[in-house]
């Protein structure tokens, strides 16, 4: 029944936000992130480190992230990751062309009555940080490369993924969008574990 | 005046509910003051700043004037209570489970409706669903919705804030309760026809069989699944069908026979459902005033007269306290139509909202999600076509096709679309043997109706891609193949009649062949930049205009100062009808109108028209009997649709203008020139012409219109005329006794005004209506268009760019050249969207689920189009007297197959479905 | 609820108390009755609802109103289609739209007019080379959907206003 399904989905979303125990979405995919300690059984340190990143990759390849880490200059939109309508482009500062700036629509916060996401510094990730269409190992290599990660050290990555509020928007994207897996805190824990374990790539 | 208006509508409207509009009032210049509705709608505004050139609605549209139905609120309406209430029409996102009602308890108290209207409430009140919309207006609780997007309830709110909260709460459909799965409801198909023609031995020989001779046929039997049985069954009641079907089966047997002299191809083609996507979602404002029992409506539709009648029918047998005595309908400018606002059920829900909220002005307005969920769609077609072409001559010997249309949840125009698609399926070709079956099915999809190019867009896309494939297979140059098969002037269409308008296929083909896009196609292909595939495609179309029972109402008046005012019943939806009326009238009376009011259906009461019967189905005997009443006409007012605006929509006003000139301005001019009545020059009115506003008769001093108008008023001459015109593939023609001359014209009703008096009806002294038999014609009116396009396809990504495009068409007299070009440019854009971008999946994933908007449904933007390299050519009329022909649809059609043919030329692949997306192209290149 | 004041077409509006969830589009159309600004999609995808926001620094930009709360406009100065003509005198862009038959149904016209006007004002401050004109016009207008016209005449009209006054708009 439609009504039953919708209520179920709402419950699921709520439980995700408070970081409740692992549950599964309709598609059968896990909807939370495994904590670092769940990988303790992997004896090989490098394999374990890579496993942390593989788990984190579920976030990095989520439309909430890839839509604004697009392969080209045009962001994508929605859970279907369709090309952004209206067509908007990166522009000189990653905040849009002069005629249609990101902030024209994307204000300081989500505006749920219109289903419009927002954040004070809404912008596209730089072109060299494009993740769209890439595999988790490719993203891993990229994210470790200061030339392609905004000159960040591994420690900076903990803060970027773990504390940045625009990144954090991915877990509270407002009405009509599914949040990234798990919580930002859980993602931070994975990045920390990955960095501390030598930042191996899968 | 009021009384006669009621009398008139009693004939037309159901149950004796009168329909009127508010009287015309003076323009109040002061902004911010509620002005009479018609003051908004009469353009250009007397006080307006508009330039003399351009559209008559131009200034209003660039200054944000209230013009569209969605612009009006109660406070804008003089005499209405000032506060606007709001209605929310809830629609089912599910048509396979039992609807169990609304979960209003889950709604926040601040979002609670003040009134909830359910199916049971409609039953209690006793509404009558007009036959055209047969089906529950609201799905009863306990039943499975008939279709996705079927309305289930109407919520009425005192406050905007509560409405605003509720519409958000209901947006994902979760507050509608559904129970057990039943699967979709099944219903009989909407229409099934077979069109078969077998030509005689030579071009002049009579047909051996044709729909014109034998009438249209439908199979009498269906399988258990509801599909028609097309075989010629030897049973008595199927006799007519069996005869035609036997001819059809013989054609198919011939196509199947392996004759080495004949190239035979059989291909499937599928087209998608799309949305008209007019930019103004359907909206309206209504107020039921219970003490006077007046239902006031403000709405914008393509079919005002029909909408008013449908609303009257709705309440025709209602309980006395829910039955208006009068419906005062005000029809506004329309923010895009494309067929999607022709015979839409939306006005019925608006009327219900007002009736269930008595005394309170209420606004019903779709948002875009709701417009996708509930608005009329284009039919998806599944087609199978067979063609047999003589290899030696390149002449098409036979064509057969089977069409299945997804009609969605309500019948609407499914039957017409099936007929038009089938009878247009051989395009602009002369084919001696044709057999086409078509069936329009009920499904649980959103209702499909008439959208720009309807039927023909689908079947000609299948045909013109097939023709291209034949050309490749023979091989023969694609234009030469078309030329060898082109319909000649006087050649017969599939129904067995010739077109009664100009047939200019050879010229269109010559133009395409000579155009550099086509001529230089090989060079461009060879010169393709690395990584790009270049291909050129061409296609042609002929598209009917008119429906076979079209009419127009129009009036023209001129005051003593020489100011001209026009009223028409056609609707302005972007088509420029107001400007076309002004231009066509100006040709006769020397001045572009100072005021044009469109979408008027009841300012023509002086004509005293009555009607009866169905103009599409009436018998000759009934028509002859009815026509004895000089006030009778086959139909009173038509929808503005089927590209009929220029040809029919302006006819009544143009003929009225001729009468004003001949019997008002001309006698006045003679008086000013001092020409005695018996002077031979007194008869030379046909030789006079206008140069700006000066009337010229060679050898005499030019006269200014202002002086002539003053004289006409002084003489008590004819200073106003009002006319009705009717066309069933030919004009109704009537004779009227006018001063000094029996006047015969292509109109069937006339009233005149003398001096500053009122209109008086002139009884026609004779009339000839087009024969009832003409209803067997598929179409006799058609315009032709050809398109050539060059595309560039990125090998790696499949991205397609239209490098250059050319469309050439003919439309007789061009009333407003810029509007004609604009329609062609817009038609090109819509063709590109249909060919490459737009699609709505059927059923649960489609628009009926209420989750569709423009992020998902992609229409063509400027960046998708060759703005600077699109060339449009309009062939000049065959003669200066060739009347205007409809062109707004045909210009869209060849764009689609031309693009597919170009894609084939570039990639070697023939796509058999629409749209052809970048992903699909990328796949075949991988 | 939040109390807002703003300037619309040069006139002070407010203070008015509005719900935080009220869109600017509904504020203009339902609260103020200013329906020159249209509602097309409610999702900032057609831009028929775009208005002009005049910044304190003298720059102007369009913004859709259907996805932005009215409270965001507190203290702002905006222009709508109703505010372009002064004392009944149409702007060059309005005149050119009419002469070119740029629009048909006209429902998308407010968005195109506002976007074109902002482009003209931007070019006045930062003129471009003649060769750049088609590109900047295309870039400016591409967000706006029109279903009738095929866009050709809108683009021509904006371009022609620019080319008609090269001293003002061209580098």
Strand pairing class (B595-597; B564-568): parallel
Report angle CA A61, A62, A64 to the nearest 5 degrees: 125
Cα–Cα distance, B765 to B734 (Å, whole number): 7
Per-residue pLDDT at B772: 94
Q: B658: phi > 0 → left, psi -120 to 50 → alpha, else beta; which?
A: alpha
Residue B678: pLDDT band (50, 70, 90) is confident
pLDDT mean across residues, chain A: 85
The complex scores an ipTM of 0.98
| CB C38, CB C49: distance < 8 Å | yes
Residues 86-105 of C with CB under 8 A from B: 88-90, 94-95, 97-101, 103-105
Cα–Cα distance, B196 to B435 (Å, whole number): 4
pLDDT tens digits for range A91-139: 999 999 988 999 999 999 999 999 999 999 999 999 999 999 999 999 9
- Note whether A2 contacts B: Cβ–Cβ < 8 A: yes
Q: Residue length, chain B?
A: 926
pLDDT tens digits for range B400-442: 999 999 999 999 999 999 999 999 999 999 999 999 999 999 9
Kindly write down the DSSP assignment for every residue of C21-35, as one continuous string: T-BHHHIIIIIS--T
Q: Which two tokens stand for residue B503?
A: 């047939």
pLDDT mean across residues, chain B: 93
Q: Quick one: average pLDDT of B244-273?
A: 96
Q: Quick one: average pLDDT of B370-376?
A: 98
pLDDT tens digits for range B168-220: 999 988 899 999 999 999 999 999 999 999 999 987 899 999 999 999 999 98
Residues of chain C in contact with residue A86, where contact means CB-CB under 8 angstroms, are 44-47, 142-145
CATH 1.10.150.120 in chain C: give the residue spans: 92-169
Residue B449 has pLDDT above 90, yes or no: yes
Per-residue pLDDT at B226: 76
Q: B84: phi > 0 → left, psi -120 to 50 → alpha, else beta; which?
A: beta
- Note whether C155 contacts A: Cβ–Cβ < 8 A: no
Q: Quick one: average pLDDT of B840-860?
A: 97
CATH 3.10.20.30 in chain C: give the residue spans: 2-82
Q: CA-nearest residue of chain C to B300?
A: C105
Q: CA-nearest residue of chain A to C59?
A: A98
| CB B248, CB B211: distance < 8 Å | no
Q: How far is C44 from chain A (nearest CA, A)?
A: 7
Cα–Cα distance, B87 to B155 (Å, whole number): 6
- Note whether A100 contacts C: Cβ–Cβ < 8 A: yes
* Residue B417, helix vs strand vs coil: helix
Residue A10 has pLDDT above 90, yes or no: no
Q: How far is CA B695 from the centre of its chain?
A: 37
| CB B638, CB B724: distance < 8 Å | no
Whole-structure pTM over 0.90, yes or no?
yes
Residue that the structure tokens 């309305």 belong to = B151
Kindly write down the DSSP assignment for every residue of B192-236, as one continuous string: EEEEEEE--SSTTSPPSB-HHHH--B--S-B-TTS-B--S----G
Residue B48: pLDDT band (50, 70, 90) is very low
- Note whether B178 contacts A: Cβ–Cβ < 8 A: yes
Per-residue pLDDT at B20: 59
The closest of B153, B168, B172, B154 to B110, measured between CA atoms, is: B168
Residue that the structure tokens 């200054």 belong to = B63
Enumerate residues 6+ apart whose C-beta is below 8 A from A66: A60, A76, A81, A131, A132, A133
Residue B909: pLDDT band (50, 70, 90) is very high
All chains having 3 or more CB pairs closer than 8 angstroms to chain A: B, C
Q: How far is CA C72 from the centre of its chain?
A: 17
| B510 phi and psi angles, rounded to 5 deg | -60, -45
Q: How far is A80 from chain C (nearest CA, A)?
A: 16
Q: Which two tokens stand for residue B915?
A: 């749209």
Determine, for residues B174 and A3 on separate chains, whether the beta-carbon distance falls below 8 Å: yes
Per-residue pLDDT at B26: 30
Q: CA-nearest residue of chain B to C95?
A: B51
| CB B593, CB B659: distance < 8 Å | no
Determine, for residues B57 and C106 on separate chains, whether the beta-carbon distance falls below 8 Å: yes
Query: How buried is B796 (Cβ within 10 angstroms: 0-12 exposed, 13-18 middle, 19+ buried)?
Result: exposed
DSSP bridge partners of B610: B632
Q: What share of chain C is helix, strand, coil (3-state, %, to 5)?
A: 40, 20, 40
Q: pLDDT per position in chain C (171 positions), as tens?
A: 999 999 999 999 999 999 999 999 999 999 999 999 999 999 999 999 999 999 999 999 999 999 999 999 999 999 999 999 998 899 999 999 999 999 999 999 999 999 999 999 999 999 999 999 999 999 999 999 999 999 999 999 999 999 999 999 999
The closest of B572, B892, B586 to C104, measured between CA atoms, is: B572
* Residue B403, helix vs strand vs coil: strand
CATH number 3.40.50.970 given to C92-169: no
Residue B41 has pLDDT above 90, yes or no: no
Per-residue pLDDT at A16: 33
Cα–Cα distance, B902 to B238 (Å, whole number): 45
Residue B369 has pLDDT above 70, yes or no: yes
CA distances from A127 to A69, A134, A141 (A): 8, 13, 16
Helices B346-355 and B304-314: crossing angle, nearest 10°?
40
Q: Which two tokens stand for residue B516?
A: 């550099």
Q: Quick one: average pLDDT of B762-778?
A: 94
The closest of B69, B84, B73 to B299, measured between CA atoms, is: B69
pLDDT tens digits for range B461-484: 999 999 999 999 999 999 999 999
CB atoms within 10 A of CB A34: 18
Cα–Cα distance, B434 to B29 (Å, whole number): 61
Helices A184-196 and A45-60: crossing angle, nearest 10°?
150
* Residue C53, helix vs strand vs coil: strand
| CB B525, CB B905: distance < 8 Å | yes
Helices C109-125 and C92-99: crossing angle, nearest 10°?
130
Return the C-alpha torsion angle A182, A184, A189, A191, nearest 10.
100
Determine, for residues A2 and B856 on separate chains, whether the beta-carbon distance falls below 8 Å: no
- Note whether A101 contacts C: Cβ–Cβ < 8 A: yes
DSSP bridge partners of B534: B792
Per-residue pLDDT at B1: 24
Classify C2-82 by CATH class. Answer: alpha beta
Cα–Cα distance, C116 to C98 (Å, whole number): 14
pLDDT tens digits for range B867-878: 999 999 999 999
Q: How far is B399 from chain A (nearest CA, A)?
A: 41
| CB B542, CB B508: distance < 8 Å | no
Residue B366: pLDDT band (50, 70, 90) is very high
Per-residue pLDDT at B235: 61
DSSP bridge partners of B273: B840
Residue B14 has pLDDT above 60, yes or no: no
Q: Which two tokens stand for residue B457?
A: 């867009």
Query: How buried is B892 (Cβ within 10 angstroms: 0-12 exposed, 13-18 middle, 19+ buried)?
Result: buried
The closest of B295, B371, B337, B362 to B72, measured between CA atoms, is: B362
Residues C88, C93, C97, C102, CA torsion sign: negative
Per-residue pLDDT at A2: 37
Strand pairing class (B433-441; B396-406): parallel
The closest of A11, A8, C26, C68 to B167, measured between CA atoms, is: C26
* Residue A150, helix vs strand vs coil: coil
Q: Quick one: average pLDDT of B121-132?
A: 97
Percent of chain B scoring above 70 in pLDDT: 95
Report angle CA C45, C49, C53 to the nearest 5 degrees: 110
Residues 54-93 of A with CB under 8 A from C: 85-88
pLDDT tens digits for range B470-526: 999 999 999 999 999 999 999 999 999 999 999 999 999 999 999 999 999 999 999
Among the residue ranges B183-197, B342-356, B672-686, B725-739, the one predicted with the least confidence is B672-686
Per-residue pLDDT at A3: 36
Cα–Cα distance, B396 to B85 (Å, whole number): 62
Residues B221, B224, B228, B234, CA torsion sign: negative
Per-residue pLDDT at B622: 97
Q: Quick one: average pLDDT of B805-825?
A: 96
CA distances from B306 to B19, B347, B417, B643, C158 (A): 11, 10, 19, 18, 40
pLDDT tens digits for range B897-907: 999 999 999 99
Q: Which two tokens stand for residue C23?
A: 């869109």
In the sheet with B764-768, reading across from the earlier edge strand, the strands are B741-745, B733-738, B764-768
Q: Quick one: average pLDDT of B93-103?
A: 97
Residues of chain B in contact with residue C148, where contact means CB-CB under 8 angstroms, are 336, 574, 822, 826
Helices C133-141 and C109-125: crossing angle, nearest 10°?
140
């Amino acid at each position: 029944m439609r009504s039953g399904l919708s209520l179920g989905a709402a419950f699921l979303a709520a439980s995700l936000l408070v970081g409740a125990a692992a549950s599964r979405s309709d598609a059968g995919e896990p909807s939370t992130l495994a904590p670092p300690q769940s990988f303790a059984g992997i004896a090989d340190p490098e394999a374990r480190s890579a496993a942390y990143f593989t788990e984190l990759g579920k976030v990095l390849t989520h439309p909430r992230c890839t839509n604004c880490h697009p392969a080209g200059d045009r962001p994508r939109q929605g859970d279907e990751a369709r090309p952004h309508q209206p067509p908007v482009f990166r522009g000189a500062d990653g905040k849009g062309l002069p005629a249609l700036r990101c902030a024209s629509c994307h204000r300081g916060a989500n505006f749920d009555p219109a289903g419009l996401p927002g954040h004070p510094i809404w912008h596209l990730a730089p072109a060299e940080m494009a993740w769209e269409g890439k595999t988790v190992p490719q993203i891993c290599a990229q994210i470790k490369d200061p030339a392609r990660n905004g000159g960040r050290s591994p420690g900076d990555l903990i803060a970027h993924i773990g504390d940045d509020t625009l990144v954090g928007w991915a877990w509270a994207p407002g009405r009509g969008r599914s949040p990234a897996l798990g919580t930002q805190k859980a993602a931070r824990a994975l990045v920390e574990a990955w960095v501390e374990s030598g930042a191996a790539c899968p | 005046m009021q009384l006669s208006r009621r009398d008139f509508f009693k004939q037309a409207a159901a149950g004796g509910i009168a329909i009127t509009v508010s009287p015309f009032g003076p323009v109040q210049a002061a902004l911010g003051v509620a002005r009479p509705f018609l003051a908004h709608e009469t353009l250009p505004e007397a006080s307006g700043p508009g330039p003399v050139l351009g559209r008559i609605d131009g200034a209003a549209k660039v200054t944000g004037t209230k013009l569209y139905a969605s612009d009006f609120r109660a406070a804008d309406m003089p005499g209405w209570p000032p506060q606007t209430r709001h209605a929310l029409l809830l629609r089912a996102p599910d048509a396979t489970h039992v609807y169990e009602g609304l979960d209003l308890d889950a709604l926040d108290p601040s979002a609670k409706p003040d009134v909830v209207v359910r199916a049971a409430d409609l039953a209690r009140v006793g509404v009558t669903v007009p036959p055209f919309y047969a089906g529950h207006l609201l799905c009863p609780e306990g039943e499975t919705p008939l279709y996705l997007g079927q309305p289930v309830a109407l919520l009425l709110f005192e406050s905007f804030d509560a409405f605003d909260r509720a519409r958000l709460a209901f947006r994902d459909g979760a507050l509608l309760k559904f129970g057990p799965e039943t699967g979709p409801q099944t219903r009989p198909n909407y229409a099934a026809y077979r069109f078969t023609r077998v030509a005689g031995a030579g071009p002049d020989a009579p047909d051996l069989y044709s729909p014109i001779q034998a009438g249209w046929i439908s199979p009498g039997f269906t399988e258990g699944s509801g599909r028609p049985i097309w075989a010629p069954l030897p049973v008595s009641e199927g006799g007519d069908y069996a005869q035609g079907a036997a001819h059809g089966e013989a054609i198919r047997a011939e196509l199947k026979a392996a004759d080495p002299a004949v190239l035979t191809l059989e291909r499937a083609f599928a087209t998608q459902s799309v949305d008209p996507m007019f930019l103004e979602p359907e909206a309206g404002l209504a107020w039921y005033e219970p003490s006077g029992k007046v239902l006031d409506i403000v709405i914008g539709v393509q079919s005002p007269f029909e909408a008013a009648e449908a609303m009257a029918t709705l309440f025709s047998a209602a309980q006395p306290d829910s039955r208006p005595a009068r419906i005062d309908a005000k029809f506004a400018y329309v923010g895009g139509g494309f067929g999607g606002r022709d015979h839409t059920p939306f006005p019925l829900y608006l009327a219900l909202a007002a009736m269930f909220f008595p005394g309170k002005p209420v606004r019903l307005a779709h948002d875009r999600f709701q417009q996708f969920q509930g608005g009329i769609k284009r039919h998806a077609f599944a087609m199978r076509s067979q063609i047999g072409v003589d290899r030696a001559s390149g002449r098409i010997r036979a064509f057969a096709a089977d069409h299945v249309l997804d009609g969605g949840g309500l019948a609407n125009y499914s039957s017409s679309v099936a007929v038009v698609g089938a009878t247009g399926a051989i395009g602009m070709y002369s084919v001696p043997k044709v057999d086409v079956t078509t069936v329009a099915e009920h499904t649980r999809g959103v209702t499909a109706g008439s959208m720009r190019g309807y039927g023909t867009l689908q079947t000609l896309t299948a045909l013109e891609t097939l023709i291209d494939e034949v050309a490749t297979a023979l091989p023969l140059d694609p234009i030469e193949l078309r030329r060898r098969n082109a319909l000649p002037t006087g050649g017969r269409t599939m129904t067995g009649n010739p077109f009664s308008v100009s047939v200019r296929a050879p010229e269109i083909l010559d133009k395409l062949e000579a155009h550099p896009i086509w001529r230089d196609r090989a060079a461009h292909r060879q010169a393709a930049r690395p990584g790009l595939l270049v291909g050129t495609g061409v296609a042609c179309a002929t598209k009917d205009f008119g429906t076979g029972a079209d009419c127009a109402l129009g009036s023209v008046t001129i005051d003593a100062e020489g100011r001209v005012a026009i009223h028409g019943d056609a609707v302005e939806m972007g088509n420029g009808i107001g400007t076309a009326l002004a231009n066509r009238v100006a040709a006769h009376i020397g001045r572009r109108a100072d005021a044009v009011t469109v979408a008027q259906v009841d300012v023509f009461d002086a004509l005293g028209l009555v009607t009866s019967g169905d103009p599409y189905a009436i018998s000759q005997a009934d028509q002859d009997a009815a026509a004895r009443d000089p006030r009778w006409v086959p139909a009173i007012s038509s929808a503005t649709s089927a590209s009929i605006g220029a040809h029919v929509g302006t006819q009544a006003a143009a003929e009225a203008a001729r009468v004003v000139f001949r019997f008002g301005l001309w006698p006045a001019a003679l008086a000013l020139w001092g020409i005695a009545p018996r002077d031979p020059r007194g008869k030379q009115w046909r030789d006079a012409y206008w140069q700006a506003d000066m009337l010229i008769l060679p050898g005499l001093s030019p006269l200014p219109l202002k002086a002539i108008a003053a004289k006409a008023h002084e003489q008590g001459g004819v200073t106003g005329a009002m006319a009705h015109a009717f066309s069933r593939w030919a004009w109704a023609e009537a004779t009227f006794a006018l001063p000094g001359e029996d006047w015969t014209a292509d109109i069937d009703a006339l009233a005149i005004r003398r001096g500053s008096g009122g209109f008086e009806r002139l009884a026609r002294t004779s009339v000839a209506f087009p024969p009832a038999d003409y209803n067997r014609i598929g179409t006799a009116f058609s315009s032709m268009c050809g398109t050539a396009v060059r595309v560039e396809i990125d090998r790696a990504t499949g991205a397609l760019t239209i490098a250059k495009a050319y469309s050439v068409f003919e439309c007789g007299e061009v009333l407003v050249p810029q509007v004609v070009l604009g329609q062609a440019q817009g038609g090109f854009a819509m063709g590109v969207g249909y060919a490459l971008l737009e699609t709505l999946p059927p059923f649960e994933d489609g628009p009926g689920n209420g989750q569709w908007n423009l992020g998902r449904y992609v229409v063509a933007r400027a960046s998708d189009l060759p703005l600077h390299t699109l060339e449009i050519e309009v062939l000049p009329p065959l003669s200066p007297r060739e009347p205007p022909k409809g062109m707004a649809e045909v210009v869209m059609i060849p764009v689609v197959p031309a693009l597919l043919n170009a894609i084939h030329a570039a990639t070697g692949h023939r796509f058999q479905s629409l749209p052809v997306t970048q992903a699909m192209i990328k796949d075949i290149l991988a | 609820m939040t109390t807002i004041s703003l300037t619309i077409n040069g006139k002070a509006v407010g203070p008015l108390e509005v719900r935080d969830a009220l869109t600017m589009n509904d504020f203009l159309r339902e609260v103020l009755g200013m329906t020159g600004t249209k509602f097309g999609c409610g999702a900032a995808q057609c831009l028929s609802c775009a208005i002009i926001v005049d910044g304190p620094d003298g720059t102007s930009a369009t913004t859709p109103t259907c996805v932005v709360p009215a409270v965001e406009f507190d203290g702002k100065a905006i222009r709508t289609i109703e505010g372009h003509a002064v004392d009944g005198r149409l702007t060059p862009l309005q005149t050119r739209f009419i002469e070119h038959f740029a629009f048909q149904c006209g429902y998308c016209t407010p968005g195109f007019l506002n976007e074109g006007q902002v482009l003209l004002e931007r070019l006045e401050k930062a003129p471009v080379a003649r060769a750049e004109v088609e590109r900047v016009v295309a870039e400016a207008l591409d967000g706006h959907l029109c279903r009738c016209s095929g866009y050709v005449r809108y683009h021509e009209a904006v371009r022609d206003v620019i080319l008609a006054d090269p001293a003002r708009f061209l580098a």
